[in-house]
Structure 1
Amino acid sequence: MGFPDFVCFNQALLAKQACRILQFPNSLVTKVLQARYFKQTNFLHAKLRSNPSYIWRSILWGKQVIHKGCRWRIGRGNNVQIYNSNWIPRGETFRPISILSLPTDSYVNELIGSDNKWDVTKIYQNFVKDDAELIVSIPLPKEPADDQLFWHYDKQGNYYVKSGFQIAQKIKFPFPLSGSKTNSEIWKVLWNFTLPAKVKNFMWRAIKNLVPISEH
């Protein structure tokens, strides 16, 4: 009937507050929340903990949108994990689809040479072609710089409630409402599942009809 989904809209608004915590780590609000809820980690990895306030629960709910819509702009690569961070510019997911060939906790700086350029040989040895081509296409700064988290759905990297609302809807309705689903739509849903990377890779290959089978 044209009415907005107020639940998703509320989550998108709360995501803006979560984004402000990321943008202003030295603000009073951030310092207070950090002292109470995430002393030993950063906001991105913060959890509910015991006896959380309603405000903290709400902010973490909004943070789900940030997790789905933000990715890292690579600088030094020392703060971005290869397999556990959003950093590859791909629509379906910002993470590799390759089977793990490096330690799980490896960082992106291990893929950058001493000349501050991508180690192309290492990348193509450890990632499937789709991943490798996207990685080497990511521009690196001329001089080493800090990694920066930005909103993928804006050219300037700024968070807007409108695009956040669309992400919130995808979180709420992971399956398309129509009866038919394209392969890419199915893959988007599967990637949201908490599964080992090798299982996700197998599912991706199955969807693409790339799983080798023997014929009798």
Structure 2
Amino acid sequence: MCANKDVGGLGFRDISVFNRAILAKQGWRLATNSNSLAAHVLKNCYYPDTSFLNAKVISWGSQTWKKFLWGRGIITAGSRWRIGTGSTISIYGDRWIPRPSTFHVISPRVFRDFMTINSLLLPSGGWKVPLIVSSFLADDDEAILNLPTGSSYSHDSLLWHFEKSGNYSVRSGYKIGMSLDCRASISSSSGLEAWWKFL
């Protein structure tokens, strides 16, 4: 079983996952508000050449930084990109299809790896329908054509898939954290069972 006792009557059953969901809230702020003082300080220190979502784990990082990275796992599992210009979102490398739990394109690759979503958009901002229908499987093209696009002036931005507002919440983050915890437990117990069978 993955669920434990309720924490403080708040509806949260696992204190470790709850703490991770709170840390994910701080990570969400770093990922979506790169102009904040905290984001500037941490970026200069730990990820000067990349984003918070792509920052590497480093051995000399502070305990606070390591906890932020621990919380980041929830953000990664529950977020996808909202399309603006599409110029910073990789067709195959980024999470942008509204399909939990992967958010990735499942169609075989027909474009080069570095191609971005703006190559699928008309100058007016709409989708190039014939190109999409001919390049993606039916599941993908249906999902893509139902996605709203931004204007040529709007930026691509991170979206929390599990809230209508698109903003991260601890409650929905906790649910994602519990599913990650369950998957890890199942994977761990499956590995242990396989080891015993081998022995």
**For this structure pair, what is the TM-score category when the shorter chain's length is used for normalisation?**
0.7 to 0.9
Q: Does 1:8 align with 2:17?
A: yes
Q: Deviation per CA, 1:74-115, whole angstroms, max 9, x where unpaired?
A: 110011111121111123321111111111222111111223
Structure 2 counterpart of 1:174, one-letter code: R
| CA 1:92–1:25: 2 relative to 1, 3 Å | closer
Confirm or deny that 1:31 pairs with 2:34: no
**Which structure 1 residue ranges, 4+ long, deviate > 6 Å from structure 2?**
none
Contact 2:85–2:151 under 8 Å retained in 1: no
Match for 1:124: what amino acid? V
Cα distance in 1 for partners of 2:184, 2:59 equals: 33
Q: Distance in 1 between matches of 2:21 and 2:59?
A: 25
Note the C-alpha offset of 1:175: 7.6
| Aligned position for 1:84 | 93
> Could you tell me how far apart the structure 2 residues matched to 1:84 and 1:143 are?
22
CA RMSD of aligned residues (A): 1.8
Inter-partner Cα distance in structure 1 for 2:108 and 2:181 = 28
Q: CA deviation at 1:143?
A: 5.1
Aligned to 1:112: 121
Q: Is the 1:74–1:140 Cα contact (8 Å) retained in structure 2?
A: yes
Could you list the per-position Cα deviations for residues 27-71 of structure 1 after superposition, in whole angstroms to 9, with x for gaps in the alignment?
221111111111111111111134111111100110111111111
Aligned to 2:193: none
Match of 1:74 in 2: 83
Contact 2:86/2:156 (CA < 8 Å) preserved in 1? yes
CA distance in 2, matches of 1:61, 1:149: 19
**Please, which of 125, 131, 149 is the counterpart of residue 122 of structure 1?**
131
Q: Which residue of 1 aligns with 2:53?
A: 44
Secondary structure, aligned partner of 1:72 = strand
Q: Aligned in 2, Cα 1:43/1:92: closer, same or farther, shift over 3 Å? A: closer
- Retained in 2: the 8 A contact 1:12–1:168? yes
State the Cα deviation string for residues 150-172 of structure 1 (Å, max 9, x = none): 21111111211110011111111
User: Would the aligned equivalents of 2:5 and 2:14 in 1 still touch at CA under 8 Å?
Assistant: no
Provide the aligned length of Structure 1 versus Structure 2: 177
- Give unpaired runs (5+ residues) of structure 1: 178-216
Larger deviation, residues 57-66 vs 139-148: 139-148
Q: Do the aligned residues in 1 keep the contact of 2:25 with 2:169 (CA within 8 Å)?
A: yes
Q: Does 1:164 align with 2:173?
A: yes
Q: Which runs of 5+ in 2 are unaligned?
A: 7-12, 187-199
Q: Give yes or no for contact 2:84–2:151 (8 Å, CA) kept in 1.
A: no
Equivalent residue, structure 2, for 1:200: none
TM-score w.r.t. the length of structure 2 is 0.83
Q: For the Cα contact (< 8 Å) 2:125–2:151, is it kept in 1?
A: yes
1:101 to 83, 103, 110: 110
Alignment CA distance shift 1:50-1:175 (3 Å): closer
